[in-house]
Amino acid sequence: MLNIVLLEPEMPANTGNIGRTCCATGTRLHLIEPMGFKINDKMLKRAGLDYWDKLDVTVYDCYEDFLEQNPDAVKKMYMATTKSKQDYTDVQYEPDAYIMFGKESAGIPEEILVESQDTAIRIPMNKNIRSLNLSNSVAIVLYEALRQNNFFDMQLEGELHRLHWKE
């Protein structure tokens, strides 16, 4: 199972959208305090719609608490940042990888990034743009990790219902 880690998220709508994406993909969500909202925030629930109760989510007091409770994360952590030289498609994601994203206003602190330069990843974008929306960034990277792992046991095809088709 893949893991999305949000370090100090600030906007409940982004986190709600990310929670919904995690539900749709069978991905575990890790939220690291302090957050810019309460976990019961109505904007969080609205963005996550009626999926929030199906979400595998854990909240941690701080980054150190997250590392203590997830010792394997250190070896399987990919850090999404605009400061990386490596694209998100350049790495091979393990089936139980952890993909971390920083808070909307500042990203992941450099003191954490320095320890993970080899696994820092970036999404290419125009030079004049500071960053993408957090929930969009999570979706882009998460779906690449899922693709590399053959989408696990996700539904891979749909079907049209021919109820209103004329023959």
Per-residue pLDDT of 92-151, as tens digits, reads 999 999 999 999 999 999 999 998 889 999 999 998 988 899 999 999 999 999 999 988
Which residues are known binding-site members?
102, 123, 131
How many C-beta atoms lie closer than 10 Å to residue 97's C-beta?
23
Contact 37, 131 (CB under 8 A): no
List binding-site positions for S-adenosyl-L-methionine.
102, 123, 131
- The mean predicted confidence, pLDDT, of the chain is 89
Instruction: Enter the tokens of residue 25.
Output: 């993909």
Question: Which CATH fold topology does 3-148 show?
Answer: Alpha/beta knot (3.40.1280)
Give Cβ neighbours of residue 144 (< 8 Å, ≥ 6 apart): 88, 89, 93
